[in-house]
Amino acid sequence: MDYYVGVDGGGTKTTVCIASADSSVLLSELTGSASWKEYGTNHVVSNIKAIIDAFPTGTDGRIAGIAMGLPYFGEGEAGDRELKRVIAEIFGELPIYVTNDVEVGWAGSLGLLPGVNVVAGTGSIAFGKNEVGETCRCGGWSEFFSDEGSCFWIGRKVLELFSKQADGRLPRDELYGVVRKAFNLSNDIDIIEQVHGKYLASRDKIAALQLLAKEAALAGSISAMELYKKAADELCGLVTSISNSLKFEDEPFLVSYSGGLFKTGELILPHFFKGIEAVGGKPVTPKFEPMFGALLMAFEKGCPQGLEKLQGRLCDEFCA
């Protein structure tokens, strides 16, 4: 029996799933970070190989193909070459499709259908594929100078708005009080020491400050509410750019969305939906998780005759 594997590699965790060619077997396993720039290519790839080897494929089973979405891939030629070299060394001649994790996110969220997937979590990025298979990636350059519309971006903006409201460059509203309380400030200037000491080295901690914007907006802060509108505009800009590049034949084209920022609901979704519809898109909630996107891609490339059956099983078990 042939088996196919999908790998969704993330900075915090990696999900590996496997399915038999007839989709009678469907299993998944969770492991550690796939951040090969941080932990090393040999460590990450060997860890993924160990997970795959542990799947119970039986004595007559074989892995016939893998689709692997990993962070950083496609962001530097030297790094890509080294990653591919290590994968080939560890996996041998096994057919493996390697891509950035944003593509498997698209594949899962839209079930391989043409369209765009927008991710707005700690960072922000979008990926699209059109009806003839052309692809385009937009955003995701770096939290230092990009990732607009992400939780990290909003977290930085919260600190910026607080500083401006604290020294009178902007009128104070609910955001000012929310930040003072969260940082337990008796003197506004003390926030500098806290941010430099506890936050600058952590993307996650800066991104978590987005929750202060949410709290302030729900309390009536005009500045926080405007911040979410600006975030929606930035994310819609990613979609506009991809749409201009790919020139979708169908309109409206599908636009899925995922990531922690969208969990703020009414603070961002109405603005995001309006912007998407204005450029000819149709917002849709993600169909499958990214790991299943990777699995679908493995089937698409290695077992196209089994793709419809796999889609059906995934829909039966995981579609809302």
C-alpha distances in Å from residue 99, one per residue of 204, 213, 283, 307: 24, 34, 25, 20
CA distances from 204 to 122, 145, 196 (A): 7, 16, 14
Same domain, 39 and 136: no
* Residue 311 pLDDT exceeds 80: yes
300 and 274 in one domain?
Answer: no
**Helix segments in the chain, DSSP class H:** 36-39, 41-54, 77-91, 101-110, 151-166, 174-182, 191-194, 203-208, 210-218, 222-246, 269-278, 290-302, 307-318
Q: Are residues 183 and 87 in the same domain?
A: no
Structure tokens at 291: 């790991």
Name the token pair of 310.
């796999």
| 281 and 211 both lie in a single domain | yes
- Residue 196 and residue 102 in one domain: no
Coil, helix or strand at residue 13: coil
Query: Residue 319: pLDDT band by 50, 70, 90 thresholds?
Result: confident
Compute the mean pLDDT over every residue in the chain, rounded to the nearest whole number: 95
What are 209's two structure tokens? 């400050």
Domain range for residue 49?
2-111+287-318
Q: What digits encode the pLDDT tens for the residues 158-174?
A: 999 999 999 999 999 99
**CB distance 250 to 221 below 8 Å:** no
The reported pLDDT for the residue numbered 320 is 57
Q: How would residue 122 be classed by pLDDT, with cut points 50, 70 and 90?
A: confident
Predicted pLDDT of residue 47: 96
Q: Which pTM was predicted?
A: 0.89
Does 72 lie in the same domain as 142? no
Collapsing DSSP to helix, strand or coil, 115 comes out as strand
For the cut 90, the answer to whether the pLDDT of residue 142 exceeds it is no
Q: How far apart are CA 156 and CA 193, in angstroms?
A: 15
Looking at the fold, whether 184 and 54 belong to one and the same domain comes out as no
Q: Where residue 256 sits, what CATH number does that domain have?
A: 3.30.420.40
Asked whether residue 205 falls in the same domain as residue 252, the answer is yes
Q: Within a 13 Å sphere around the CA of 266, how many CA atoms are in the beta-carbon half?
A: 3
User: What average pLDDT does the segment 2-17 reach?
Assistant: 92
What is the average per-residue pLDDT within 134-162? 95
pLDDT digits (tens, 9 = 90+) for 193-239: 999 999 998 888 999 999 999 999 999 999 999 999 999 999 999 99
In this structure, the answer to whether residues 190 and 171 fall within a common structural domain is yes
| Mean pLDDT on 302-319 | 94
Same-domain check for residues 94 and 212: no
Q: What is the mean pLDDT of residues 31-48?
A: 92
Give the tokens for residue 102: 């944003």
| Cα 78-84-90 angle, rounded to 5 deg | 135
Question: 102 and 157: one domain?
Answer: no
pLDDT computed for residue 59 by the predictor? 84
Q: Omega of the bond prior to 114 within 30 degrees of 0, cis?
A: no
- Does 226 share its domain with 136? yes
* CA–CA separation, 64 and 21 (whole Å): 9
Per the structure, the count of domains in the chain is 2
Residue 76, token pair as written in the block: 């530097």
